Amino acid sequence: MATEANTGRIIDVEILRQDTENGPTRWEKFKVPYRHGMNVISLLMEIQKNPVTADGKSTTPITWDMNCLEEVCGACSMVINGRPQQSCSALIDRLETPIRLEPMATFPVIRDLQVDRSRMFNALKKVKAWVPIDGTYDLSEGPRMPERKRQWAYELAKCMTCGVCMEACPNVSEKSSFIGPAPLSQVRLFNTHPTGAMNKDERLAEIMGDGGLANCGNSQNCVAACPKGIPLTTSIASLNRAASVQMFKNFFGSDHMVD
């Protein structure tokens, strides 16, 4: 139930609008009646129902991405009050007003708050972030992961490709080829998997070149921003060690190296 102090409360919202890809941008202000338990998604829905700016001018409905509404799919990422995060879990009661909403700058804007995250998905393809089972032969049940390893690997598996770590990283930009912390962490996850490790050398080769580990500046913004608390910098440090071993194997030949 809304408290007496919040009765009749109006939320001031400022949204960075962009009608087309590479089009001009503009700020629009809105006033939205407060409702107890509101998140940024419900705020945007209220504007969508009646797209009228704070000065009474009709405008187009806001465009943004969303899906699960429970911080699982990662689709609703945007910059809220200067911080990249999930809009479904950003509660109005915890935000300062006016609430300023912007699209993530790391990715191309499609329209308004909707961005194209293909850069991140293409990076996952590049590092083969999957377990390659094609179904042409029976692999049986496969080896079991030790419980201790399974527990920390599960932490890496929480990644929902939301792009927040990419937005927070100062080394990820349109002028940089750095694939970013999320794809790197997935390399560690799938190299740890008993079956995924069959392609371990291929994944390491991809991140040892341009856009890979050497492009990480170790700012640690990614781990601070990650909504799932994934130990991204720990993964990158582990991959640096693995890449060093791989480099010596490549130089001296695998027959003379002990894994």
Strands 99-102 and 77-80: antiparallel
Q: Hey, is 126 helix, strand or coil?
A: helix
Residues 135 and 232 in one domain: yes
Question: Please, what is the Cα angle at 79 between 73 and 81, to 5 degrees?
Answer: 130
Count of the separate structural domains present in the chain: 2
193-239 pLDDT, tens digit each: 988 898 999 999 999 999 999 999 999 999 999 999 999 999 999 99
Residues 137 and 208 in one domain: yes
Q: What CATH code is carried by the domain that includes residue 29?
A: 3.10.20.30
| pLDDT at residue 248 tops 80 | yes
Residues 109 and 123 in one domain: no
Residues 149 and 93 in one domain: no
| pLDDT at residue 136 tops 80 | no
Burial class (CB in 10 A: 0-12, 13-18, 19+), 74: buried
Specify whether the CB–CB gap between 47 and 113 falls below 8 A: no
Residues 250 and 152 in one domain: yes
Strands (E), 6-163: 10-18, 25-33, 77-80, 83-86, 99-102, 109-111, 114-115
What is the pLDDT, as a whole number, of residue 174? Answer: 87
Task: Report the chain's mean pLDDT, rounded to a whole number.
Answer: 92
What is the pLDDT, as a whole number, of residue 1? Answer: 42
What is the pLDDT, as a whole number, of residue 258? Answer: 47
What is the pLDDT, as a whole number, of residue 33? Answer: 96
Specify whether the CB–CB gap between 221 and 169 falls below 8 A: yes
Residues 111 and 163 in one domain: no
| CB hemisphere CA count around 110 (13 angstroms) | 11
Among 37, 43, 41, 42, which Cα is nearest to 13's? Answer: 43
| pLDDT at residue 184 tops 70 | yes
Residues 124 and 71 in one domain: no
How far is it, in rounded angstroms, from Cα 132 to Cα 198? Answer: 9
Specify whether the CB–CB gap between 216 and 238 falls below 8 A: no
Region of poorest pLDDT, from 42-51, 124-133, 164-173: 124-133
How far is it, in rounded angstroms, from Cα 91 to Cα 135? Answer: 45
Residues 244 and 131 in one domain: yes
Tell me which residue range forms the domain holding 226.
118-256
| pLDDT at residue 251 tops 90 | no
Q: What CATH code is carried by the domain that includes residue 158?
A: 1.10.1060.10
Average pLDDT (184-200) is 93
Residues 21 and 32 in one domain: yes
Runs of H (alpha helix) within the chain: 40-49, 118-126, 147-156, 164-168, 181-192, 200-207, 221-225, 232-252
Question: Please, what is the Cα angle at 191 between 188 and 196, to 5 degrees?
Answer: 140
| pLDDT at residue 153 tops 50 | yes
What is the pLDDT, as a whole number, of residue 40? Answer: 98
What is the pLDDT, as a whole number, of residue 4? Answer: 53
Average pLDDT (126-145) is 81
| pLDDT at residue 259 tops 50 | no
Structure-block tokens of residue 165: 């770590």
Q: What percent of the chain has pLDDT over 90?
A: 81
Residues 56 and 134 in one domain: no
Residues 182 and 220 in one domain: yes
What is the pLDDT, as a whole number, of residue 3? Answer: 53
| pLDDT at residue 58 tops 50 | yes
DSSP letter assigned to residue 115: E
What is the pLDDT, as a whole number, of residue 121? Answer: 96
Structure-block tokens of residue 72: 């699982």
| pLDDT at residue 8 tops 90 | no
Q: What Cα–Cα distance (Å) separates residue 205 from each residue in 7, 127, 199, 240? A: 59, 9, 10, 12
Residues 105 and 125 in one domain: no
Domain boundary among 78, 98, 115: 115
Peptide bond into 143 cis (omega under 30): no
| pLDDT at residue 38 tops 50 | yes
What is the pLDDT, as a whole number, of residue 85? Answer: 96
SS3 for 33-58 is ECCCCCEHHHHHHHHHHCCECCCCCE
